[in-house]
């Protein structure tokens, strides 16, 4: 029974809101890449490396905002390098992605040991974002407990997603980027440069993954440890794939996965194997993928290798 | 001077474009009168598409000038060409799926209000265009479900929305129904009356005479000439387009047709977009016979062959019989096992694997149909023996069987592919463009082999875009036009011009 | 009748350029990084070499690391050679390791038979785990890239959970201490060089690489697998059943990945330890990439990879550098390798040819 109660407790819902941030922040940029037809598994490394640099920036300058700047710059630089390899040097996107992810793991762990002399850095003197006490929200009975006392990054997540939605569907930029993904040649004949828009989408996803990495290392507790992102970059990828790049649908996916993530926190106090709970977010993604592809059963046998 | 500016809306001077060894456009100087429908006709590969690509700046010319309204143009990108009033309607529609009709029209040329799309203003403009030129478009529907004729109208509205004065239409009728074609022609006349100029690219002669004011003929990358419709007739035009020196002469052997090997009844095939590409095909091929299918590219030959070999699924009711047994819808693998061979048109994409060695390419198909001993192995010696046989019999110039096939010339690759299919005791061979893009010596060689192969009792379906090839080799000729097969007579029964006329949709009287 | 030729073919030049440039670039980046950390790059490389080949123990270490590298490299090769993106090697490896661990202590068998049984069981477990994404792709067209990626994480927690259930011990004490009981002595792989960590697992690994080599070189299935990967349309026209090939690829790839996990369990740890792999599965992807999908190449590259793994640990002990720099450099090398030098070269040639032609035409017009 207590499980059920935990499922809708304010603690769980508040954690859901909080944990949605890394997904939503990243999705706000990656949705554009997805719409432009770019599959990018290197997101995980973007997130991991920018998380580390955000911590480093905050550590060096004792400011969470400079940390965030470091994170965003790191993410953008990474996406730039990835773009050069994949768009211009003819490298296979997936192999490049694997290379990036492993570089990310190697680089962050190496720097972690080299700079902080540990494989898990906490209390190194970096400043994290502190929760904001919103005046009116504080007094609303139920919602206040859920939405109040979060850091700016958490509020930024849904906000950026809404902006992304507006940009995607209400501006020329959005129309064009969607056209690029749907029919490259048609876009090209409409004077829309596929290369230019792919690049913008790529850099946007890098910058946004930088923010989401910042959340990982600087939200409320400033810390970084080996493999800290734990596949959240892949979850961003999966959410965007399920949502077909639509920011609102992607936001919904993000919340669902964040909810499962939150349950791992609230259920972990109970008498249940923590591994079962830890699997939940990943299983949720797989389940959603499975359900959204159910309709494809009809076309069985028309397999084309990618 | 002033007069000339009025007269010609577009002029090209000495346009040249080379692709590797091919001269796609060879000093083309074309003049298009304002306010006319100007037809550009020519066979496949005559250089039409390249020329249009250059006009819209999708293809960059090697040299030459484009003069628009008397002014020399120097387009920087396709957008630039569009802004100067050149609009193109592609044969294959440039529409984004899962976009609405409206979004498809405005993309790239959105009216802006601040940073946002000014939907209202865009909408007003689109509606005004629709009203002026009498198009009724479902602007808010997704384009996925709309019929082809509507898609075509969307394309027209799209170029008008972009402010085009010169509209290029690349074979606009190829996917339309007769009613759709009527509608299109009406629209073209309305456009002309309201001051637009249309470049109408086609190879269907009937249509040329129905709508055009002037006709330019391209052949082998060169402009043959520009004619008034009054001064030429269908036959003359066909001659101008196909007339080519015959360099090669095949030596046909007399054949006695045996048992029917392939029987096709009511075969209908749709493509991925649901358009019927093969319409009620009926024919048979007997042992020892070469049946040739002539036709302009894209008339449905590809889909016909794919259906025959199991790569595409025919519509219900179609019947394909092979040696008396129904084989409709069987997989390529089953066809291979039944000893049906296939030489695809796309030599590099389907016919061979450029990343693999010569012997690996040579045994494809054979490895399943005939195979080696033991069955699950590919013993090097046996594979090499087979490959050596192909290489020897077909005079493929190779240094080492382990070399990549990519290191061979096009002619040698084709000899190897053809040789591979000929050396497997196949009873039926589907062969597409066996000699495209290869040197004369290799062509002669392959022709001779093909004739001998048939005379030994195999049935051959030869699909070729080279009319001369079909005429030289075939015992019976079928002409494919717009998805339908038409009778082209026996060997030597009709002249090249007559068949050319059939290919373009004319009637032989 | 082969003649000895000293000129390189176009392909040869390009691959020489590829490996040469990548190596130089990686070494340069590595040297800069080591300098930044206040160490001497040359000394660091010497330490790595010493750690890999400098003593009997060092050689033993290298051989010990070569086992998982060769196995997981072969697993990746089978998938990537046929153009199938099995990024789930890590997960398949965990399942293999866990099942082998169980087979090692639950079953009693005579010495030689027992390790073989463990390997087989682990391989089958990896295979079953690989079937999941394969069927999702075939039946529902769910992209195998994303499913295999996510299943890696599921596999880690799933094997941890199973371990806890199997030992039915108390609740988790912290993830690092989750492990199955020690396996029987009969299940352990025999040490190869006394006093070192090299085991007979190396024979298994070499045998697997050789099997993969023979598969591609002599069998019908191997031939078809290769053709499917290099040109799917060509293979289909030639009568190859692509769906069947797809299943075979996942089965074989998963099986070998499972073997790799088993070999780690019964050859190194002597029990299943949760999270033992630390990205071994991804090493496989890198190895096959560097080896250009050639089985014998995997053999060589695995040895190099293993030497670096063994050497890096030694370097960490003898210098202030940490071993992650080697991981980073290996990944960077893969990134440099994955650049399509052939394309860049051809682009350059085309650009040069066009320029030349335009100049000639201009000259013609002038005359």
Please state the domain extents for chain A. 21-228
**What pLDDT does C169 receive?**
55
Strand partners, B479: B294, B486
Alpha-carbon gap: A241 to the closest alpha carbon of chain C (Å): 9
pLDDT tens digits along A206-263: 999 999 999 999 987 888 888 888 889 999 999 999 999 999 999 999 999 999 989 8
pLDDT tens digits along B5-63: 458 889 999 998 887 667 788 899 999 998 999 999 887 778 888 898 899 888 888 88
Q: Are A240 and A24 within 8 A, CB to CB? A: no
Q: Is B96 on the interface with A (CB under 8 A)?
A: yes
Q: Count contacts between B and C (CB, < 8 Å).
A: 91
| Residue C344 within any structural domain of the chain | no
The beta-carbon neighbor of B96 closest among A170, A183, A193 is A183
The beta-carbon neighbor of C220 closest among B16, B333, B376 is B376
Assess whether pLDDT exceeds 80 at residue C162: yes
Q: Count contacts between A and C (CB, < 8 Å).
A: 166
> Which two tokens mark B425?
């005791």
A229 burial (CB, 10 Å; 0-12 / 13-18 / 19+) is buried
Name the residue among C330, C344, C298, C331 with its Cα closest to residue C17. C344
Q: Are B83 and B91 within 8 A, CB to CB? A: no
d(C-alpha C115, C-alpha C117), whole Å:
5
The verdict on a CB contact (< 8 Å) between B369 and C218 is: no
Name the residue among B386, B444, B456, B384 with its Cα closest to residue B414. B444
Give the highest mean pLDDT range of A43-47, A123-127, B217-221, C233-237: A43-47
The beta-carbon neighbor of B94 closest among A170, A171, A183 is A183
Number of domains forming the structure of chain C: 1
Mean pLDDT in chain C? 89
- What CATH number did the domain enclosing C99 receive? 1.10.3470
Outline where B259-395 has alpha helix (H): 301-309, 332-337, 358-362, 366-369, 380-393
The verdict on a CB contact (< 8 Å) between C330 and A106 is: yes
User: Which residues in chain C are contacts of A113 at CB distance < 8 A?
Assistant: 322, 324
The verdict on a CB contact (< 8 Å) between A182 and B96 is: yes
ipTM rounded to 2 decimals: 0.89
Cα A57 to Cα A61, A74, B425, C19, distances in angstroms? 6, 11, 73, 36
Q: Are A67 and A126 within 8 A, CB to CB? A: yes
**What pLDDT does B82 receive?**
84
The beta-carbon neighbor of C328 closest among A107, A271, A285 is A107
Structural domains in chain B? 2-242 (3.40.50.300), 250-339+426-509 (3.40.50.300), 347-425 (no CATH)
The verdict on a CB contact (< 8 Å) between C83 and A237 is: no
Alpha-carbon gap: A244 to the closest alpha carbon of chain C (Å): 13
* DSSP code string of C205-245: HHHHHHHHHHHHHHBHHHHHHHHHHH-HHHHHHTT--HHHH
d(C-alpha C83, C-alpha A197), whole Å:
28
pLDDT band at B244 (very low <50, low <70, confident <90, very high): low
By residue count, chain C amounts to 367
Assess whether pLDDT exceeds 90 at residue B257: no
Q: What chain B residue is nearest to A190 in terms of C-alpha separation?
A: B108
* DSSP code string of A169-187: HHSHHHHHHHHHHH-HHHH
By residue count, chain B amounts to 509
Evaluated on CA atoms B464, B469, B475, B478, the torsion sign reads positive
The verdict on a CB contact (< 8 Å) between C150 and A101 is: no
| Residue C202 within any structural domain of the chain | yes
Tokens 């922040």 belong to which residue? Answer: A25
The verdict on a CB contact (< 8 Å) between C239 and B360 is: no
By residue count, chain A amounts to 306
Residue A191, H or E segment: none
The verdict on a CB contact (< 8 Å) between B62 and C357 is: yes
Cα C263 to Cα C200, C260, C268, distances in angstroms? 10, 5, 8
Q: Count contacts between A and B (CB, < 8 Å).
A: 61
d(C-alpha B35, C-alpha B194), whole Å:
8
| Residue C346 within any structural domain of the chain | no
User: What is the end-to-end Cα distance of chain C in Å, rounded?
Assistant: 51
Alpha-carbon gap: C111 to the closest alpha carbon of chain A (Å): 34
What is the signed CA dihedral for B61, B62, B64, B70, rounded to 10 degrees?
A: 30
The verdict on a CB contact (< 8 Å) between C145 and A41 is: yes
User: Which residues in chain B are contacts of A178 at CB distance < 8 A?
Assistant: 96, 99
Q: Is B443 on the interface with A (CB under 8 A)?
A: no
| Residue C186 within any structural domain of the chain | yes
Assess whether pLDDT exceeds 50 at residue C3: no
Strand partners, B430: B342, B461
pLDDT band at B508 (very low <50, low <70, confident <90, very high): confident
Assess whether pLDDT exceeds 60 at residue B3: no
Domain span at residue C163? 59-316
d(C-alpha B74, C-alpha B81), whole Å:
9
Name the residue among B54, B112, B333, B269 with its Cα closest to residue C236. B333
Rg (CA), chain B: 25
Assess whether pLDDT exceeds 50 at residue C2: no
The predicted model scores a pTM of 0.88
Say which residues have a Cβ less than 8 Å from residue B325's Cβ, sequence separation at least 6: none
**What pLDDT does B243 receive?**
59
Strand partners, B319: B265
Q: Are A13 and A33 within 8 A, CB to CB? A: no
For residue C109, the SS3 value is coil
pLDDT band at B402 (very low <50, low <70, confident <90, very high): confident
Q: How far is CA A227 from the centre of its chain?
A: 15
In which region does residue A122 sit, left (phi positive, over 0), alpha (psi from -120 to 50) or beta (all else)? beta
> Which two tokens mark C303?
């040895």
In which region does residue B118 sit, left (phi positive, over 0), alpha (psi from -120 to 50) or beta (all else)? beta
* Residue numbers of chain A with a pLDDT score lower than 50: 300-306
Alpha-carbon gap: B474 to the closest alpha carbon of chain C (Å): 25
Alpha-carbon gap: C195 to the closest alpha carbon of chain A (Å): 30
In which region does residue A298 sit, left (phi positive, over 0), alpha (psi from -120 to 50) or beta (all else)? alpha
């Amino acid at each position: 029974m207590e499980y059920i109660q935990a499922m809708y407790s304010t603690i769980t819902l508040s954690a859901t809101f909080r944990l949605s941030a890394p997904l939503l922040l990243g999705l706000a940029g990656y949705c554009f890449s997805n719409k432009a037809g770019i599959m990018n598994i290197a997101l995980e490394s973007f997130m991991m490396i920018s998380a580390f640099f955000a911590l480093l920036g905050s550590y060096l300058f004792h400011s969470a905002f400079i940390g965030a700047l470091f994170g965003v710059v790191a993410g953008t630089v990474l996406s730039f390098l990835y773009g050069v390899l994949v768009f211009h040097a003819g490298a296979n996107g997936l192999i490049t992605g694997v290379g990036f992810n492993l570089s990310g793991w190697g680089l962050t762990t190496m720097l972690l040991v080299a700079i902080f002399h540990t494989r898990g850095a906490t209390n190194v003197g970096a400043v994290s974002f502190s929760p904001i006490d919103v005046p009116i929200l504080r007094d609303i009975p139920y919602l206040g407990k859920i939405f109040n006392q979060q850091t700016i990054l958490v509020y930024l997540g849904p906000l950026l997603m809404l902006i992304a939605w507006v940009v995607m569907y209400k501006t020329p930029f959005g129309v064009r980027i969607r056209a690029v993904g749907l029919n490259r040649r048609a876009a090209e004949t409409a004077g829309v440069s596929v290369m230019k828009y792919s690049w913008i989408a790529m850099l946007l996803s890098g910058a946004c993954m930088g923010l989401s990495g910042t959340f990982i290392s600087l939200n409320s507790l400033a810390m970084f440890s080996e493999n800290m992102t734990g596949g959240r970059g892949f979850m961003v990828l999966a959410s965007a794939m399920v949502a077909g790049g639509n920011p609102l649908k992607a936001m919904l996916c993000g919340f669902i996965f964040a909810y499962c993530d939150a349950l791992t926190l609230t259920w972990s106090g109970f008498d249940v194997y923590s591994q079962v709970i830890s699997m939940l977010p990943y299983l949720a993604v797989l389940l959603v993928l499975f359900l959204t592809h159910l309709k494809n059963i009809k076309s069985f046998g028309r397999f084309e290798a990618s | 001077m002033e007069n000339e500016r009025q007269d010609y809306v577009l002029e090209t001077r000495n346009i040249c474009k080379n692709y590797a060894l091919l001269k796609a456009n060879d000093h083309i100087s074309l003049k298009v009168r304002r306010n006319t429908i100007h037809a550009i006709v020519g066979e496949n590969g005559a250089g039409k598409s390249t020329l249009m690509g250059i006009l819209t700046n999708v293809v960059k010319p090697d040299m030459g000038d484009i003069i628009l309204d008397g002014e020399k143009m120097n387009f920087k990108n396709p957008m630039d060409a569009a802004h100067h009033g050149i609009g193109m309607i592609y044969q294959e529609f440039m529409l984004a799926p899962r976009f609405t009709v409206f979004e498809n029209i405005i993309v790239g040329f959105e009216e802006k209000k601040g940073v946002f799309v000014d939907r209202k203003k865009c909408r007003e403009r689109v509606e005004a265009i629709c009203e002026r030129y009498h198009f009724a478009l479902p602007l808010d529907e997704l384009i996925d479900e709309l019929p082809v004729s509507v898609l075509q109208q969307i394309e027209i509205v799209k170029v008008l929305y972009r402010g085009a004065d010169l509209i290029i239409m690349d074979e606009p009728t190829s996917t339309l129904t007769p009613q759709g074609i009527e509608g299109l022609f009406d629209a073209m006349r309305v456009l002309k009356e309201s001051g637009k100029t249309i470049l109408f690219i086609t190879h269907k002669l009937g249509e040329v005479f129905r709508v055009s004011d002037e006709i330019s003929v391209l052949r082998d990358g060169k402009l043959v000439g520009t004619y008034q419709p009054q001064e030429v007739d269908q036959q003359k035009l066909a001659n101008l387009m196909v007339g080519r020196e015959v360099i090669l002469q095949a030596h046909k052997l007399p054949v006695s047709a045996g048992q029917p090997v392939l029987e096709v009844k009511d075969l209908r095939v749709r493509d991925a977009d649901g358009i019927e590409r093969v319409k009620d095909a009926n024919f048979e091929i007997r042992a020892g016979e070469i049946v040739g299918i002539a036709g302009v590219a894209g008339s449905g030959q590809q889909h016909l062959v794919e259906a025959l070999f199991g790569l595409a699924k025919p519509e219900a009711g179609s019947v394909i019989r092979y040696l008396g047994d129904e084989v409709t819808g069987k997989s390529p693998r089953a066809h291979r096992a039944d000893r049906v061979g296939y030489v695809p048109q796309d030599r590099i994409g389907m016919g061979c694997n450029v990343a693999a060695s010569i012997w690996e390419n040579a045994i494809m198909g054979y490895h399943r149909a005939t195979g080696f001993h033991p069955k699950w192995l590919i013993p090097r010696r046996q594979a090499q023996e087979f490959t050596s046989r192909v290489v020897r019999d077909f005079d493929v110039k190779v240094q080492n069987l382990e070399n990549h096939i990519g290191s061979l010339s096009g002619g040698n690759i084709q000899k190897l592919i053809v040789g591979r299919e000929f050396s497997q005791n196949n009873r039926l061979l589907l062969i597409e463009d066996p000699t495209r893009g290869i040197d004369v010596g290799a062509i002669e060689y392959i022709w001779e082999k093909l004739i001998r192969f048939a005379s030994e009792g195999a049935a051959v379906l030869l699909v070729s875009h080279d009319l001369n090839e079909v005429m030289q080799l075939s015992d019976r000729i079928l002409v494919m036009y717009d998805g339908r097969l038409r009778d082209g007579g026996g060997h030597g029964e009709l002249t090249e011009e007559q068949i050319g006329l059939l290919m373009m949709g004319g009637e032989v009287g | 009748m082969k003649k000895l030729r000293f000129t390189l073919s176009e392909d040869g030049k390009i691959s020489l350029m590829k490996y040469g440039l990548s190596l130089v670039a990686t070494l340069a980046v590595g040297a800069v990084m080591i300098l930044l950390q206040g160490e001497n790059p040359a000394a660091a490389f010497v330490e790595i070499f010493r750690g890999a080949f400098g003593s009997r123990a060092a050689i033993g270490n290298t051989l010990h690391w070569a086992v998982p590298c060769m196995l997981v490299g072969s697993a990746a090769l089978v998938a990537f050679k046929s153009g199938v993106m099995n990024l789930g090697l890590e997960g398949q490896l965990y399942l293999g390791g866990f099942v082998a661990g169980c087979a090692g202590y639950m079953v009693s068998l005579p010495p030689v038979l027992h390790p073989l049984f463990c390997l087989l069981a682990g391989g089958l477990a990896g295979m079953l785990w690989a079937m999941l994404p394969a069927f999702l792709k075939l039946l529902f067209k769910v992209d195998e890239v994303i499913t295999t990626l996510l299943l890696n994480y599921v596999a880690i927690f799933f094997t941890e959970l199973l371990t806890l259930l199997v030992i039915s011990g108390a609740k988790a004490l912290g993830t690092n201490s989750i492990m199955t009981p020690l396996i029987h002595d009969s299940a352990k792989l025999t040490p190869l060089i006394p006093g070192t960590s090299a085991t007979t697992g190396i024979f298994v690994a070499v045998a697997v690489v050789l099997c993969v080599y023979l598969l591609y070189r002599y069998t019908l299935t191997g031939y078809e697998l290769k053709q499917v990967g290099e040109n799917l349309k060509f293979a289909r026209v030639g009568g190859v059943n692509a769906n069947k090939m797809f299943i075979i690829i996942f089965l074989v790839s998963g099986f070998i990945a499972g073997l790799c996990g088993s070999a780690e369990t019964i050859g190194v740890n002597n029990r299943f330890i949760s999270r033992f792999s630390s990205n071994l599965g991804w090493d496989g992807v890198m190895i096959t990439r560097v080896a250009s999908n050639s089985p014998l190449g995997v053999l060589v590259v695995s040895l190099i990879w293993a030497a670096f793994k063994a050497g890096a640990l030694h370097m960490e002990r003898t210098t202030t550098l940490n071993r992650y720099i080697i991981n980073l450099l290996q990944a960077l090398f893969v990134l440099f390798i994955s650049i399509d030098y052939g394309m860049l070269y051809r682009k350059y040639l085309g650009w040069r040819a066009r320029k030349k032609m335009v100049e000639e035409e201009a000259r013609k017009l002038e005359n």
